[in-house]
Amino acid sequence: MTAGRFITYAVLVLAAIAVIFPVYYVIAGSIMAPGQISSYPPDLFPHGLFTGNYEGATSTTAIGRQYVNSVLQTSVITLSQLITSVLAAYAFVFMKMWGRTLLFGLFLGTLMVPWESIVLPNYLTITGWELGGQRLTASYAGTMIALVLPFLANAFGVFLLRQSFLQFPTELRDAAVIDGCGHWRFMRRILIPLNKPALMAVGLYVFLAAWNQFFWPLLIGDNANRRTLQIGISQLNDVEAANPGLILAGVVLSILPTLAIVIFGQRFIVRGLTAGAIR
């Protein structure tokens, strides 16, 4: 091993430790007793398996219900954005229309609009609509329809899938048309199976973004049972500020799905994001 390679590996190991250590300490601190986690100097390894933090986190606030809300919200947003992104990207690539390039440019322009600038219009729109004869502010604030409605479509997924669809061989598309394959059949039987890495990348990106939402669920939810897990974790800080283990237990419950997705879906993220990089 040369000196340059040794230095490279040493820098990479240090960078990996800097990234992994906070995640490790959150997990280790969640199973430490209150006396151990508050000790000085701090202990880096738990002396035993203390489950009181998880019991306190699930019983102090409505985290169980908020966990279900987060799962439902994230699932609906992810599925909806996958469907709308596939349909829009297919139209931009395979369907001939006037002004297609201009329309796609305007579509991408929505990515430049800061979320903070449209929070108030979204809130006023949702609370102003009526469903079943009752206003959202009276009976539906914080329910699933209010949580997911502003996020059912997004231009990023359309852009990523369009770049992937552009790599599809035109000869294969022409052969499918000659064999009498329509739009729906071609998309369902040929295009989507051959673009699974890009679809997985979009799905994982949308899942992580939806799961970590904080401001919108806080704004639209009117009580603890109608909010999401991220809001519940912040409430743990107010309920039991003297017990950091309680907060760490809530954080562990929050990061478990995202950690599993990143670990097992990393190769799909990399392959999907680089699918349209080279033509």
Is-contact 98 195, C-beta < 8 A? no
Query: What is the pLDDT, as a whole number, of residue 270?
Result: 65
Query: What is the pLDDT, as a whole number, of residue 274?
Result: 58
Which among 65, 96, 27, 47 is positioned nearest to 253, based on CA atoms?
27
Query: What is the pLDDT, as a whole number, of residue 239?
Result: 54
Q: What is the pTM of this model?
A: 0.82
Is-contact 258 237, C-beta < 8 A? no
Query: What is the Cα–Cα distance from 223 to 279, expressed in whole angstroms?
Result: 51
| Residue 10 located in a structural domain | no
Which among 172, 190, 191, 9 is positioned nearest to 90, based on CA atoms?
191
Burial class (CB in 10 A: 0-12, 13-18, 19+), 234: middle
Domain extent at residue 88: 71-224+267-273
Q: Count CA atoms within 13 Å of residue 196 on its CB side.
A: 6
Q: What share of the chain is helix, strand, coil (3-state, %, to 5)?
A: 75, 0, 25
Q: Tally the domains of the chain.
A: 1
| Residue 244 located in a structural domain | no
Sequence-distant (≥ 6) Cβ neighbours of residue 219 within 8 angstroms: 119, 123
Query: What is the pLDDT, as a whole number, of residue 279?
Result: 45
Sequence-distant (≥ 6) Cβ neighbours of residue 116 within 8 angstroms: none
Residue with token string 């091993």? 1
Query: What is the pLDDT, as a whole number, of residue 87?
Result: 92
| Residue 80 located in a structural domain | yes
Residue 49 sits at φ, ψ, to 5 deg, of -100, 105
The CATH number linked to 181 is 1.10.3720.10
Query: What is the pLDDT, as a whole number, of residue 130?
Result: 60
Residue 135 sits at φ, ψ, to 5 deg, of -75, 150
| Residue 25 located in a structural domain | no
| Residue 16 located in a structural domain | no
Each residue's pLDDT, cut to its tens digit, for the chain (279 residues) gives 688 888 999 999 999 999 889 888 888 888 888 778 777 777 788 887 887 778 877 776 677 788 888 888 999 999 999 999 999 999 888 888 888 888 888 888 888 888 888 888 888 888 777 654 445 545 544 467 888 888 998 888 999 898 888 888 878 888 888 888 888 888 888 888 888 888 888 888 899 889 988 888 888 876 777 778 888 887 776 655 567 778 888 888 888 888 887 777 666 666 655 554 544
Amino acid at residue number 101: T
Query: What is the pLDDT, as a whole number, of residue 132?
Result: 42
The enclosing H or E element of 273 equals helix 244-273
Is-contact 82 206, C-beta < 8 A? yes
Please name every residue paired with 135 in a beta bridge, in sequence order, or none if there are none. 130
